[in-house]
Structure 1
Amino acid sequence: MTALAARPDQNMRSRTPSTGEPPIMSLVPPHLVHRSDESDVLLTHFGQSDADTYQFAVQWPTTHALFSSVLGRANPMLIAETVRQAGTVLAHMVYEAPMDDQFLLWNLRYESLPGLHGTAGTPTPTEAVIRNPEVTLRGRRLATIRIEMDLFAGPLRIGQGEASANCLSAAAYRRLRPGVVDLADVPRTPIPPFRVGKESERDVMLSPSETVPAVAAEPAGPAVSTEPAGPAEPDGPTGPTGPAVPVGTPRTASWQLRADRNHPVIFDSQSDHLPGRGIIEAMRQAAQLASGLEHALVPSMNAEFRRYVELDRPCTVSAEILGGRRDGRIPIEVTMRQDNEVAALAVLYLEDATTARHDLPVGP
């Protein structure tokens, strides 16, 4: 997986496109981002600055049904949804992908930067910029797309993300997915909502596992980069930034996936498998449980999607704490396994929203 490069010299970007004129911006309707609820559309307008640069006007909702704020701080996982929506708009408006094409997400990564604090008086995202998207065509049809996005509040860069996906025609998708039996959902007892930062059981995506190991088996090592910024610190208190890992927290634990196929946000556009936003939310919940934090933010995530997560078979979600960090963030690797295969995995960095230091970068 390609890592996001640090670009400290681009925190202030040039607002003048190569043509010398501002781009003509077009409205972004909900269907272009595969959402039916207008309140779930994070992009309002789209325009092209030059041959290789595309701009989006961004408007995050004050409350989001899935990626809600934490103690008044903006949920950084909205960056992941912003980059997904931007890639979908590019695919349809620039590369003319038909609306019934299906996008198979392979990688998604984001990080928030100083400034995305979500408290009174701090900046909120206003614009996203994508430069030099990488695409391949099959004939005249879009086959793959990879984008890197910078997120701005005025001139200040406050986040970045990247994603890659395959694009399949409706006919190709039907051949790949000829049909899924519509089985009744298997009742699964939810984890108490407050433990995963939720208020309703409907939003809980994990159920207690029959076996929850307290110590990990011999690990194979993370499949995605943790990009350490310095030496790991020992477990326990670390000073003013709070504990790296609460004392007594198991190093590894696992749960069973539970997904409500009638959930209006997770299954907004399709229901024959668990969509990407459902996968990353299940991973976030597992990471929060593993961390032991009551109010957790995820300022950075690096995720890889290998297989469809099917809805008619059990899926195990396991989380392993990789070690403490000096800036107070907790790196946790989350793996989703189904049919004895890894379906998805990610490294998430968690921080305690009650003690997070706003004067430190929160990206890896």
Structure 2
Amino acid sequence: MTVALTVPHSVPRHGAGPTARGSGLPPLRRLTTTVPREYVHRSAITEVFLTDWQSSGPDAWTVDAQWPRAHSFYGPAHGMHDPVMLAETARQTAILLSHVGHHVPLDHPAIWGRLRYSVAPAALTLNGTPADLELHVTDHDVVRRGSRLATMRQIFRILRDGRELGTVDGTLSCHTPAVYRRLRGPYADLERTLSRTLPLPESVDPALVGRDRTADVVLAPAAGQNRWQLRVDTAHPVLFDHPVDHAPGMLMVEAARQAAHAAVGAPSLALAMDCSFVRYAELDAPCWVRAEAAGRDDAGLPRVAVTAEQHGCAVFTATVSCAYAS
């Protein structure tokens, strides 16, 4: 029997430390830990970046996070934290708040619709300690079906030690397991879907896409200029932290980053992205990724338009603003 886990309607601020009330001792300092991994749909505790949350007003939240100085996948480069780590942090935050703020049961899938982020490069500098972040989040355009959250838009303002690090604007939809099974049809059978995953193709040269290890490359060679096949490694410990029935959103974000890096033709940082998750990218058919120059953004950074297609239809699009790394 499957038991649906629910979050109480009154959820205290996470991480509040114990007190020594009545003991004659001073109150104990609040200790820091990660939020429960289940709240951010992660299996590995080491992949949880969030440490705390609290309500800061009607439809407003403050979430604390920490970025490590080194990470197995979102590793630092050129003396800076990986800006794409902001997308993963926003993903975790949106899912956390769907549960603790909107009482969505833990077994309800959450799906991205759109994600936009922008990062101030000066705030990404590595120093001698992990980066402590404060995310100020407001909920907008909240749609409910009965008492259940269906969709919402969230706007983030992110600070690092009181300094502006970046912004995020994203939309999220939540589905009951029954609705999700209807949406996914035969792909809802996870065991069957994973058994039909395409063989892993060879990777492009890691240096072409700004990576050090072949295992972290998500693009494979394909015919045509600036065109690749999506490389889906369901054994990847970060991108596939747990089994899923489609290509995860962060895999698509990483494909956009790597495609833009290859198209720019020089070491670069993806300081901004505007991503649309159009359809589910399935695991049993090739997904083709292409990139082309798209002028410059308002800050003068070169932009690259990236499209992922499957069965002749776009499943994901992104515009990436790249800063050349020194």
Question: What's the counterpart of residue 137 of structure 1?
Answer: 144
Count of aligned positions: 291
Residue 65 of structure 1, CA deviation: 2.7
1:255 corresponds to which of 222, 228, 243: 228
Question: What's the counterpart of residue 104 of structure 2?
Answer: 97
Bigger helix fraction: 2
Contact 1:266 1:275 in 2 (8 A): yes
Contact 2:69 2:129 in 1 (8 A): no
CA distance in 1, matches of 2:299, 2:146: 49
Question: What's the counterpart of residue 321 of structure 2?
Answer: 349
Question: What's the counterpart of residue 49 of structure 1?
Answer: 56
Question: What's the counterpart of residue 45 of structure 2?
Answer: 38
Contact 2:197 2:283 in 1 (8 A): no
**AA matched with 2:227:** S
Contact 1:123 1:153 in 2 (8 A): no
Question: What's the counterpart of residue 167 of structure 1?
Answer: 174
Change (3 A) 1:264 1:133: same
**AA matched with 2:282:** E
**AA matched with 2:93:** A
CA distance in 1, matches of 2:232, 2:313: 19
Residue 311 of structure 1, CA deviation: 0.9
Question: What's the counterpart of residue 220 of structure 1?
Answer: none
Change (3 A) 1:51 1:78: same
List gaps (5 residues or longer) in structure 2. Answer: 1-10, 16-34, 188-192
CA distance in 1, matches of 2:118, 2:206: 26
CA distance in 2, matches of 1:343, 1:314: 12
Residue 185 of structure 1, CA deviation: 3.1
Residue 113 of structure 1, CA deviation: 2.2
Change (3 A) 1:68 1:328: farther
**AA matched with 1:77:** V
CA distance in 1, matches of 2:118, 2:44: 26
TM-score, normalised relative to structure 1: 0.75
Residue 25 of structure 1, CA deviation: 2.9
Change (3 A) 1:335 1:93: same
Contact 1:183 1:312 in 2 (8 A): yes
Question: What's the counterpart of residue 277 of structure 2?
Answer: 305
Q: What do the CA deviations read for 1:285-305 (whole angstroms, capped 9, x no partner)?
A: 111111111x32111000111
**AA matched with 2:295:** G
Task: Please give the residue correspondences for 1:277-292 in structure 2 after superposition, counting only pairs within 5 Å.
Answer: 277-292=250-265
Secondary structure of 2:224's aligned partner: coil
List gaps (5 residues or longer) in structure 1. Answer: 1-22, 214-252, 355-364
Greater relative contact order structure (CA < 8 Å, 6+ sep): 1
Q: Are residue 25 (structure 1) and residue 37 (structure 2) matched?
A: no
CA distance in 2, matches of 1:316, 1:45: 39
Task: Please give the residue correspondences for 1:214-253 in structure 2 after superposition, counting only pairs within 5 Å.
Answer: 253=226
Contact 2:198 2:285 in 1 (8 A): no
**AA matched with 1:31:** E
Bigger strand fraction: 2
Question: What's the counterpart of residue 158 of structure 2?
Answer: 151
Residue 117 of structure 1, CA deviation: 2.9
Q: What do the CA deviations read for 1:40-83 (whole angstroms, capped 9, x no partner)?
A: 11110011122232111110122223322112211111111111
Structure 1 outlier segments of 4+, above 4 Å = 324-328
Residue 271 of structure 1, CA deviation: 2.3
Contact 2:123 2:164 in 1 (8 A): no
1:76 corresponds to which of 83, 91, 111: 83
